[in-house]
Structure 1
């Protein structure tokens, strides 16, 4: 493997496609109904304030997560609007489709952030009430926190498992696997061919699925610092500590990724990889083709932008 440090590219599976993000651009490639591949390009807009915030440990994770939620929703909207539509009907569908009032008022980006926050609140608070219902058995703060963590983990695994049974989500998880395989192939300095990509692992240390699991683990330790009784204070603490748990979990994710090639210490990332056994599936060759096309299109656009900047200088 090359010793040269490569840029860390991230991605996201969408409906019948894959999105990859670079320093200057985001690119999504989807497989259309006629078997063609279509691209969606979105420039990465710089924000001086956000750029400074993303350099601050613990705070940078929260900014990155909200930014990814907002941006990812735009690409998901593109894929869901077009994947099952015949390209010849694009203009007709565009004229007939009416955006929901929520999207019109809040915008796609804001809707994505709100969806993420709503989901985080649900998966944070439901385990609180479930654990509280067992207080007659588990009376101490320590036991309550452990039971709460267990309920949160069970809910997370059950949710992922049951949605993965639906045909649509199963295919999204296959594209998720294709995304990881392409990144692994790139990071291993291998040409991006279908054959090479398929040889790679569908798991990756930097995956958002690992981050979700780390929020459960980190939450257990953070909640040890605050009381579990009375219930109203417990609820307030959980809500108030969401940014803290997210910030620490992001740093843990970054740490496990940096240690993934270190013997023994690389085991720190194993729980996240195990969760990816649920959130990714083995892709077929056509799905891998879409992921490769998406990544190569991103590389092309990144190179063009870099060359333009060098010419200006």
Structure 2
């Protein structure tokens, strides 16, 4: 097989339109996105299901921002913004409200997003770097110019990521969110398989999905380990500050800048892996992410499946080509 015959299928997969439906678990509910809107459904304290349809905030309306290897970072940011909005609404609705309270203002969303990004930077960039410095001081690894430093950095990054997921899974409320996460995946599988979608039938689908955000985060971590191990020593070979503190501050700052190309590469990789036909390459790319989803998803019950199906119905709207069989619910 020549190079062009291998390259063209890859380019077609990357340039293909984005999947119709994606989702996210929220407090006592599910959010489903369909293009420029998303549906939000929540199980209320009285047992009823309350749902609404909301516009999707987008950062990729300009064509060049939707180009392959560009779109990953803005899509990551807009997903975080919409996830915060949906989570805020779900908390109101799950507490018995109707979700008509004043929405988060732009500065409140910016502050929440900033705090979330700050925590992510602290946990997955600064903390692994500092722990790798401890290995250097213990004479168990080299300095930041060497490979061993970045191997330790990657090891600590993976440990923090897996440990964080395991710890939050012990919280009962988060375990329920993970059940709704499984319900979201099962419902999307049922929708993508064709035919009517209903809670009973969708419950038999897999709770693991190759396009999951958990898989995306895993790809981000793996790509960051490789790129940082290659590019940080290269940067320091070009210019190294005289101060050791300045050298490590420069290294951490450069790692933060690398988040943009890393997220772009991870987004294209997860899209490519999801579109590959079953085979050795597809299994190689999908298996780690699907294995990680066994921690971030749990089997949902029938009532949680009903909520996910309602969220899908709201996202698709009344003109959906697929028949969505929902239980009775209230719509805002």
Equivalence map 1:11-90=2 (5 Å):
11-44=23-56, 50-85=61-96
**1:139 paired to 2:142:** yes
Query: Partner of 1:225 in structure 2?
Result: 231
Question: Residues 64-113 of structure 1, C-alpha deviation per residue, up to 9 Å, x if partnerless?
Answer: 1111111111111011122132x5xx69x95xxx99xxx557133x2443
CA distance in 2, matches of 1:73, 1:119: 15
1:252 corresponds to: 269
SS of corresponding position for 1:54: helix
Task: Tell me what 2:297 maps to.
Answer: 280
The DSSP-based 3-state class of the residue aligned with 2:35 is coil
- 1:1-313 equivalent positions in 2, closer than 5 A: 7-44=19-56, 50-85=61-96, 106-108=107-109, 110-122=110-122, 123-135=124-136, 136-139=139-142, 141-223=146-228, 224-227=230-233, 230-259=247-276, 261-267=277-283, 268-301=285-318, 303=320
Unaligned runs of at least 5 residues, structure 1: 305-313
TM-score (norm 1): 0.84
CA distance in structure 2 between the aligned counterparts of 1:275 and 1:111, rounded to whole angstroms: 30
- Structure 2: gaps (5+ residues): 1-16, 237-243, 322-332
Shift of 1:40: 2.4
Please tell me whether the aligned partners of residues 40 and 75 of structure 1 are also in contact (alpha carbons under 8 angstroms): no
TM-score, scaled relative to structure 2: 0.80
CA gap of 1:7–1:221, structure 2 versus 1, over 3 A, is: closer
Query: Taking structure 1 as reference, are residues 254 and 119 closer, same or farther at Cα in structure 2, changes over 3 Å only?
Result: farther
Number of equivalent positions: 287
Change (3 A) 1:218 1:6: closer
> How many angstroms apart in 2 are the aligned matches of 1:64 and 1:233?
27
Check conservation: 1:190, 1:196, Cα contact below 8 A. no
**Cα offsets for 1:35-65 (capped at 9, x unmatched):** 1111122123677x63324322222011111
Return structure 1 stretches of 4+ with deviation > 3 angstroms.
Answer: 44-47, 301-304
Query: Following the alignment from structure 2 to structure 1, what is the Cα–Cα distance between the partners of residues 65 and 250?
Result: 31
Asked if the contact 1:72/1:112 (under 8 Å) is kept, the reply is no
